[in-house]
Chains A and B, each alone.
Chain A
């Protein structure tokens, strides 16, 4: 059996992301939005609302959620799931810190 390991990449430091804001990480054709909440937790989601593919990175961050800028869907940063009456989910990516450096997992290999 081959042991698979998480493929972690360094994307920058916490201070690169505005509090209650987001920055984007490009990976091939995909954009991953990396969010920083008011209490300095960091989450990574695909930058694509499950509703109409809106860029979530451009939305307003509040509590553990982001509100999509196109049609105001509210997406949980932790689970990627739509909140309230809406249904749908977006892919999430594990994030961890190495000192001040943010590491993002791009999957197993």
Chain B
């Protein structure tokens, strides 16, 4: 045992994700962490589901912790494991698939459930909720086939869902039980403006609508209201609010009221169990917006690190609607009352409404619609309980108008005090952002997100952060800039690749000199990229710079976490023989290799090899006819095959032979990122060709060529490139496609990302519809292979780079005196 305490977390949403980040920050080695996630995926930004629904973002863009994060932090993540029992006496939890794990400390973060209104028909197929990525997928699926949708609930979630479905081409009606939309966050005037804006984009809004039942025989056909009206619909989305999901905690005997009752330190009635997030109830309140949930996460992390003083404090959180083109901001208490005054500004033509509610000359609530730029300033005045008597006449015009200031768009941000909150989701203040920009020399929005977390959740403060960058950086701020390759240059990958060709730059120093690199010899990001671009563009002239390659490509093996290496010999199309297997077995015995493993690419991996042994192992493998499998390379990896018409009773073509032919033709080629291929002998697709970078599926009439699949961090089926008749044509198309990618891809950009960036149709146009261009790509690939197909193992066996594999000097430890 390693002496670490065992921390089990039930739930993998944003709150526990943030808690673990804070915990690993403070005490990276204190706990062995196991997470049970009922959803079959990693932690993603739930707030951003609406942009995914509307198509403005892809799911990959809203992932907070990719699989790598869990690996890096040694976290065991059970995906798709809903926990069904907590045994507090035995200190264990058990999941539905039957996994039982013991804990020293348990954190319950089960989130919330959507509220399903109790009316007949609410369980019909076609009735959905809006809570997680599965719901979004279900809605997107429905949007393809059904023309009409009803959203029940005119709150934040309901309106975002309605706007997203409308974007996806559905006819949408919102049914809201109250007289105005978002009545908990907006006053009636702003609610009216919002309703008008929704109607303007073609969304029907019915207020005061009380749902009686959902109509339908075997699936949803419509919604019937109390007054007898029936709104026809093939999809009904319930967005009538959420309820804390406390059932599991209750069954385990923890104290539960509306949510799981916790104290300000996030401890439940059992001192060994914490709860946080939407399932937790603190001081009689439950929360649904991210800012207080993140505050809970920080408190829980501090408590886990032994800081008993950390406490959760209630604060009002501003509400913002994430519908493109609708600006809305609401904070605090805006009900009318005898002891309250209000200041209102309306601009009917511009559709602007601003209202500030005052009590004893202090702001207690704000509603802004149409122009929300001053939200942060009003929030700041309210939090600080500033007496506004002196600026009362101009208060409503906003901060830029105070003290006769000029109308500079950044003046408002400039005038904010350092402790003004810029990012509500993550509680980041202005001073933290400006000092990070100055101290760390940040110039890009992404860097600010990485260092400060500002603008990294819902993104609605992005404009403010950009203004802060403009203010702090002055002329150095360039908002339209492309993302540079790295900190050494302002140029993006595309520009650098263009210049390499246009200026005929043929060495790394030439690129750095001519393109005015800011560093003397680059960094670990740009050097491998430049090395690849030069290898690709000048195959006959460029001398590969090994010191600019990652260690795996330098020693032609895969570095493992303990500094040992793994070796994978090439097995053409996944075929092997008795002689090859015997040679592998002999090498394993001779070098005492601890682990031998069959890979997903139909080959054999030998793991735990000392670097010094690599050349000798390669020599032995080479004698048996093996060459390097390039399992480490940003290059051509494997061509997976099934047995095809040789053996299989379903096989339509000789898929094994085609796979071997492709692999023998293409091996050794360097590419922007790894390229994995497959050939399946029939549409049953046993070689899984339709999730590869490039795949071929044989059919009776020829060969279907597929591309741009992914089955790693992202999962994506391939796109069809087209159908060809002969093996020769199949090879030519596959090779041309890969060469096009070689010439255009950004370093480390897989085929599916490259193809998405330039457009699938563009790839089809160039490879399928333009034979001359295809032939030119093919010829350039063939030319470059003349210089690429050299077995790196045999080169090193014959002494190349021998310094890599031996220590320079060895000294014994001296005895202590």
Contact = CB atoms under 8 A, between A and B. Distances in A.
A87 B612 CA distance: 31
Contact of B808 (A24, A29, A59): A24
B519 interface: yes
Interface string A66-79: 01011110100000
A85 B527 contact: no
Given A23-B803, A24-B807, A60 B813 contact: no
Nearest to B25: A87
Interface string B793-817: 0000000000100011111110001
B803 A18 contact: yes
Contacts of A12: 808-809
Nearest to B72: A71
B558 to A, nearest CB: 11
Contacts of B649: none
Contact of A85 (B450, B523, B811): B450
Interface string A5-44: 0000111100011111101111111110010001100000
A94 interface: no
Interface stretch (B166-174, B257-265, B534-542, B547-555): B547-555
Chain A interface residue bracket vs B = 35 or more
A69 B551 contact: yes
B520 A38 contact: yes
**Residue from B519, B555, B803, B808 whose CB has the most chain A CB atoms within 10 Å:** B808
A98 interface: no
A18 B804 CA distance: 9
Contact of A26 (B524, B527, B528, B807): B807
Chain B interface residue bracket vs A = 20 to 34
Contacts of B440: 84-85
B337 interface: no
Given A23-B803, A52-B561, A70-B561, A17 B808 contact: yes
Contacts of B528: 60
B521 interface: yes
Contacts of A11: 808-809
A63 B520 contact: yes
Given A55-B563, A60-B527, A106 B811 contact: yes
Nearest to A52: B561
Interface string B419-454: 000000000000000000000100000000011000
Contact of A25 (B554, B561, B810): B810
B527 A62 contact: yes
A59 to B, nearest CB: 7
A63 B809 contact: no
Contact of B524 (A18, A54, A74): A74
A26 B811 contact: yes
B523 A20 contact: no
B807 A67 contact: no
Nearest to B565: A58
A34 B519 contact: no
A31 B548 CA distance: 23
A61 interface: yes
B361 to A, nearest CB: 43
B808 A27 contact: no
Contacts of B222: none
B234 interface: no
B522 interface: yes
Nearest to A58: B551
B301 interface: no
Interface string B54-93: 0000000000000000001000000000000000000000
Given A9-B809, A28-B813, A53-B562, 7 more contacts: A18-B803, A25-B808, A52-B72, A54-B563, A58-B555, A62-B521, A63-B523
Interface of B: 72, 440, 450-451, 519-524, 527-528, 546-552, 554-555, 559, 561-563, 803, 807-813, 817
The 8 A-B pairs at the shortest CB distance, nearest first, are namely A28-B813, A67-B524, A23-B808, A58-B551, A20-B547, A11-B809, A26-B810, A60-B524
18 contacts: A12-B808, A18-B546, A18-B547, A19-B547, A24-B807, A26-B809, A26-B810, A27-B813, A55-B563, A60-B528, A60-B547, A60-B550, A62-B522, A63-B523, A67-B524, A69-B550, A69-B551, A85-B440
